[in-house]
């Protein structure tokens, strides 16, 4: 082995240009692989920073006429939330864009319009301030929780940001909290700049008419499993509940059902549902 090593070193010394290219190629290859692994680890492998993520399940709808795992309507979500026997709580969110006005400048920022219990179901804690209060899920209240990235990138990590105002869609929103750096929601990849409560969706999503229509598919739901309840049991119970909803609302829910998968295993499903992001009825 030592003879081979000495021979290899002599050969490399005789061709310094080749040696430099080889070393540079190895360095670039190792660096690229390290960067790719870091990205995959952050986006796919690392659990989301919430309480007991293994007890969270992603809830989806199925439709005989539209293959795949689909978002829920607002009305079906509320019925599943109130009638299921397998979750301690269910939360949901929808995607949106809001116009952030600062002085004479404006910028479109990605937001999520969420149920008031979104953060509590996940068990995600802010590093500053608080998350949504129960009454803010019922009474339209212009409050906003911002991401750590938006706080750092756009607001200069202002330590006194809680209580200040952001003008979103020409409406003053009070900042009530800043999330931890590692929290970007339940979706793969980048997260929103801010979260606003669903009760104020008329401001966050002006002209969006599907909240009170059972065929509007736009809500991405999840639940926290009760102790000793498996995802398979949850999925079976959701199918039973949705069977009742199909009978109660045959025009809107004919051929539809619901199911659940572990949230940590739902990456491909979340990507699929996001690609299928509807702004209307099906």
| C-alpha dist (Å) from residue 34 to 30, 41, 177, 278 | 6, 10, 34, 36
pLDDT in tens, 67-118: 889 999 999 999 999 999 999 999 999 999 999 999 999 999 999 999 999 9
Q: Domain tally for the chain?
A: 2
**What's the first-to-final CA gap in the chain, in angstroms?**
69
Domain-located, residue 239? yes
Same domain, 141 and 29: no
Cβ(131)–Cβ(212) below 8 Å: no
Domain-located, residue 261? yes
Same domain, 38 and 141: no
Domain of residue 26 covers: 2-45
pTM of the predicted structure, to 2 decimals: 0.79
Same domain, 119 and 158: yes
Domain-located, residue 199? yes
pLDDT averaged over consecutive 10-residue blocks of the chain (282 residues)? 72 66 55 42 56 95 92 98 98 97 94 97 97 93 97 97 98 98 80 96 94 94 97 98 97 97 68 43 52
Give residue 24's pLDDT. Answer: 59
Same domain, 137 and 248: yes
Domain-located, residue 17? yes
Same domain, 27 and 90: no
- Residue 190, classed as helix, strand or coil, is coil
Domain-located, residue 165? yes
Same domain, 32 and 58: no
d(CA 184, CA 190): 7
Same domain, 174 and 40: no
The dihedral through the CA atoms of 216, 65, 186, 155 has a sign that is negative
Domain-located, residue 282? no
Domain-located, residue 174? yes
Give residue 226's pLDDT. Answer: 98
Same domain, 37 and 58: no
Give residue 43's pLDDT. Answer: 43
Domain-located, residue 280? no
Same domain, 236 and 138: yes
Same domain, 28 and 160: no
């Amino acid at each position: 082995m030592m003879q081979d090593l000495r021979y290899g070193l002599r050969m490399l010394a005789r061709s310094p240009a080749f040696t430099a290219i080889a070393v540079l190629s190895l360095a670039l290859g190792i660096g690229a692989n390290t960067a790719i692994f870091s990205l995959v680890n952050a986006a796919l492998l690392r659990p989301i920073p919430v309480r007991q993520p293994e007890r969270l399940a992603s809830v989806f709808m199925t439709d005989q006429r539209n293959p795949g795992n689909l978002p829920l309507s607002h009305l079906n979500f509320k019925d599943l939330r109130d009638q299921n026997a397998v979750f301690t709580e269910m939360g949901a969110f929808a995607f949106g864009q809001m116009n952030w006005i600062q002085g004479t400048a404006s910028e479109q920022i990605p937001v999520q319009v969420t149920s008031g219990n979104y953060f509590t179901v996940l068990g995600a804690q802010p590093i500053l301030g608080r998350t949504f209060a129960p009454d803010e899920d019922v009474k339209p209240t212009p409050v906003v929780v911002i991401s750590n990235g938006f706080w750092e990138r756009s607001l200069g990590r202002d330590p006194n940001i809680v209580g200040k105002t952001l003008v979103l869609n020409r409406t003053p929103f009070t900042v009530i909290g800043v999330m931890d750096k590692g929290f970007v929601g339940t979706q793969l990849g980048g997260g929103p700049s801010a979260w606003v409560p669903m009760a104020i969706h008329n401001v966050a999503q002006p002209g969006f008419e599907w909240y009170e229509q059972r065929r509007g598919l736009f809500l991405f739901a999840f639940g926290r499993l009760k102790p000793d309840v498996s995802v398979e049991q949850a999925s079976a119970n959701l199918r039973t509940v949705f069977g009742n909803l199909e009978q109660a609302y045959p025009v809107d829910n004919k051929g539809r059902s619901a199911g659940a998968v572990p949230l940590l295993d739902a990456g491909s499903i979340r990507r699929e549902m996001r690609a299928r992001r509807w702004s209307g009825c099906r």
